[in-house]
Chains A and B, each alone.
Chain A
Amino acid sequence: MTALFFRDLKLSIRAGGGALIGVLFFLTIVAVIPFGVGPDLKLLSRIGPAIVWIGALLAALLGLDRLFQAERDDGSLDLMLMQETPLVLTVLVKCFAHWTATSLPLVIASPLLGLFMNMDETAIGATILTLLVGSPAITFIGAVGAAVAVALPRGGLLVSILVLPLTIPVLIFGVSATYAAVEDAAPFLPPFLILIALTLFFAVIGPAAAALALRNTAD
């Protein structure tokens, strides 16, 4: 399992710069927003956390369709289906590797973008914390979409359409926890705990459903 983790990690970092592309995409999305809403620093600092979150969400979806596709192409997916370790565990490990390779760089890059958005220290800290806790949920939900899309000849865009509606709760609680940290009126802990709960919930549901879908598409 550790070997699989490092294999996946190496593959996604070396093959076409998956992580770098994700961070670049993230930067581009966030850089485009001020052109759309205007360079008003007050407005930007108000909507900053939401923009960073949306950017991270979209960037996390970017490489998802490759999660199982490459394995299917070179045949190693069949080996994974046949091996003795439960497929759910394999999927879980692959999700962790994918998260480390693509979402963790986004979390690390988010303070820089927070500065661009004129956010203060608490807002930046809260955004990093919520992203760190919430982005695994996006990967786990995405794994279901990726497993479903393995059956498709070219499912890249469809994965995003199928996965995005399911990630909305994560986005809602991630952003509301960040806002709660900035504004004194709302307590930070309840939305943050719900965010953690969502991640744990999808850590169970996501790999199980993805494994089920992979078994059914393999035939």
Chain B
Amino acid sequence: MSETSLAISKFSDLANPTRFLALAARAIPWLTGITALCFIVGLYLSFATEGDYQQGETVRIMYVHVPSAWLSMMCYTIMSLSAIGTLVWRHPLADVSAKAAAPLGAAFTLLALVTGSLWGKPMWGTWWVWDARLTSVFVLFLMYLGLIALGRAIDDPSKAARVSAVLILVGFVNIPIIKFSVEWWNTLHQSASVLRLDGPAIDPEFLRPLFVMAIAFTLLFFTLHIMAMRNEIWRRRIAAQRRLAARMASRED
């Protein structure tokens, strides 16, 4: 068996929810542990470093704001990939993944908006401006909420998944807009300073804690995502069992 087909068969093995649950049971304690460790190191580093000469202590907001903003976009990207999985391969775990990711994405987006607002007040002198980056992230937040509402409005989970998947893919146009909004429209929000072609533009002093915090937040996302997927699978099994029990009961009558 060649390398790729082995990888594909491993991937399709995960389609079996029971295998996924077994894997999740093994992975979750490790993931939780590593996430906690990263947060301890990251938080220590972010409080140990000096404040910025210009921004003072408020620069520490960055260590929460930037990772959550990055996750708000990564979560939507993962949902889009899951949507493709739902529509193209009918992968049974893809719709579970998309459904579990939506509330997480909404939470991280809200966190990015709130911390940005808290940071904006001392720096820019205002809680909110209708700047391109802020507005597009706010639209992303609305889209997460709309997708959650849509998922709840349809009873049949597989139909809900396929319909939401279409909408997720249409909404993906917003992600490049968010990413490049600071370069296309030169408004109040500062332009990209970490992921740049010519290397990061911020001091390594700030980059180190930011990097650790970004890893910690990403791990936190994956831990929560796998936990939420596990809960969703269990919820569907319980619903199936209930239906079965109801059918048996009605047959006995």
Contacts and interface: CB of A to CB of B under 8 A. Distances in A.
Co-assembled chains A and B: yes
A176 B50 CA distance: 43
Interface in A141-162: 141, 144-145, 147-148, 151-152, 155, 158, 161-162
A205 interface: yes
Contacts of B163: 148, 151, 213, 216-217
Interface string B159-179: 110111011011101100100
A9 interface: no
A1 interface: no
B166 A213 contact: yes
Interface residues of B, number: 25
A217 B155 CA distance: 12
A209 B167 CA distance: 8
A72 B205 CA distance: 61
B153 to A, nearest CB: 5
A17 interface: no
A212 B146 contact: no
A156 B184 CA distance: 35
Contacts of A164: 142
B159 A148 contact: no
A165 B139 contact: yes
A117 to B, nearest CB: 22
Interface in A168-219: 168-169, 205-206, 209, 212-213, 216-217, 219
B48 interface: no
B229 to A, nearest CB: 22
A203 to B, nearest CB: 13
A158 B153 contact: yes
Interface residues of A, number: 24
Contacts, number: 68
Given A152-B154, A155-B153, A162 B166 contact: no
A166 interface: yes
A162 B159 contact: no
A212 B87 contact: yes
B149 interface: yes
B41 to A, nearest CB: 37
B139 A162 contact: no
Interface in B115-164: 135, 139, 142-143, 145-147, 149-150, 153-154, 159-160, 162-164
A56 to B, nearest CB: 20
Contact of B139 (A151, A168, A209): A168
Contacts of A155: 153
Given A165-B142, A168-B139, A144 B167 contact: yes
Nearest to B138: A165
Contacts of A148: 150, 163-164, 166-167
Contacts of B164: 148
Contacts of B150: 148, 158, 162
A212 B153 CA distance: 19
Contacts of B145: 161
Contacts of B162: 213, 216-217
A162 B153 contact: no
A109 B154 CA distance: 38
Contact of B167 (A152, A162, A168, A219): A162
Given A152-B153, A161-B149, A216-B159, A169 B177 contact: yes
A164 B147 CA distance: 13
B170 A166 contact: yes
Contacts of A161: 142, 145-146, 149
A137 to B, nearest CB: 12
Nearest to A206: B170
Given A165-B139, A219-B159, 20 more contacts: A144-B166, A148-B166, A151-B160, A152-B153, A152-B154, A158-B149, A158-B153, A161-B145, A161-B146, A162-B167, A164-B142, A205-B173, A209-B166, A212-B87, A212-B166, A213-B162, A213-B166, A216-B159, A217-B159, A217-B162
11 contacts: A144-B167, A144-B170, A158-B150, A161-B146, A166-B143, A168-B135, A205-B170, A209-B167, A212-B87, A216-B166, A217-B162
